[in-house]
């Protein structure tokens, strides 16, 4: 249970996809960082928000690299120093993506509403599911307590998987909104949008890889404790 080669075999496609996604995001981001933009990431984000009527959403700088995110609770667009201050296609692309999340929030975009509602269950599942599964395995699937702990853990991990699946359309839609806004507001040209799209597509691929790994991990646990329970 604690080291099963079958697990690594099952998740191998997701791991390979994740490595490819990381390579793509670093290479496309590095290239787009070298290409100038007329506005900084902060100014681009502010322009997009104001154009959408979201003057109440603030734009702030936070420490870290690629730590950019939109906080719906405080209605704040938080951008890393490279994005906040950078006048590059990479900076305006990432800022526009996060502004896209703010627009989703303002319009009550259905997948975002569902995703936000799933945050508590996903948060608990992230920290509790695996320990419960391992603890249940120690007691053994053949005992009532062990079976209860294992299936409770699998259920909580399923909530994590559901959250990640729901998150995919949220991320893709935010990128789509970003591209439309960047061109329609004249922040980037159609030619420059190609490089922005490469950065955003590579970032989206990391979400796909993480979701695939979570799905395959859930599949492994279900297979392990149904078809493989007789070996416990």
Provide the Cα torsion 133, 168, 216, 9; round to 10°.
-120
Which residue in 82, 98, 171, 192 is the catalytic one?
Answer: 98
| Separation CA 77–CA 220 (nearest Å) | 38
| Separation CA 186–CA 183 (nearest Å) | 5
Cβ atoms of residues 173 and 181 within 8 Å: no
Cβ atoms of residues 89 and 189 within 8 Å: no
| Separation CA 73–CA 53 (nearest Å) | 18
| Nearest residue to 176 via CA among 118, 123, 99, 114 | 99
| Nearest residue to 69 via CA among 104, 34, 110 | 104
Say whether 98 is catalytic: yes
Residues annotated as part of the active site: 98
């Amino acid at each position: 249970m604690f080291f099963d080669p079958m697990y690594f075999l099952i998740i191998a496609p997701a791991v390979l996809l994740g490595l490819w996604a990381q390579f793509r995001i670093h290479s496309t981001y590095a290239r787009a960082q070298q290409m100038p933009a007329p506005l900084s990431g902060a100014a681009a984000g502010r322009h997009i928000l104001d154009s959408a009527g979201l003057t109440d959403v603030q734009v702030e700088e936070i420490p870290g690299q690629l730590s950019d995110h939109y906080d719906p609770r405080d209605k704040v667009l938080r951008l890393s120093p490279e994005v906040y201050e950078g006048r590059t296609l990479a900076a305006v692309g990432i800022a526009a993506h996060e502004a896209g999340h703010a627009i989703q929030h303002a319009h009550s975009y259905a997948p975002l509403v569902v995703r936000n509602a799933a945050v508590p269950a996903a948060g608990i599942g992230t920290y509790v599911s695996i320990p419960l599964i391992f603890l249940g395995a120690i007691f053994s699937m053949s005992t009532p307590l062990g079976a209860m702990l294992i299936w409770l853990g699998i259920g909580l991990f399923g909530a994590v998987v559901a959250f990640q699946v729901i998150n995919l359309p949220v991320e893709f839609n935010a990128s789509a909104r970003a591209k439309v806004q960047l061109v329609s507001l004249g922040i980037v040209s159609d030619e420059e949008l190609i490089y922005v799209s490469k950065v955003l597509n590579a970032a989206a691929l990391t979400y796909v890889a993480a979701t695939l790994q979570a799905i395959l991990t859930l599949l492994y646990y279900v297979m392990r404790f149904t078809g493989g329970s007789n070996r416990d």
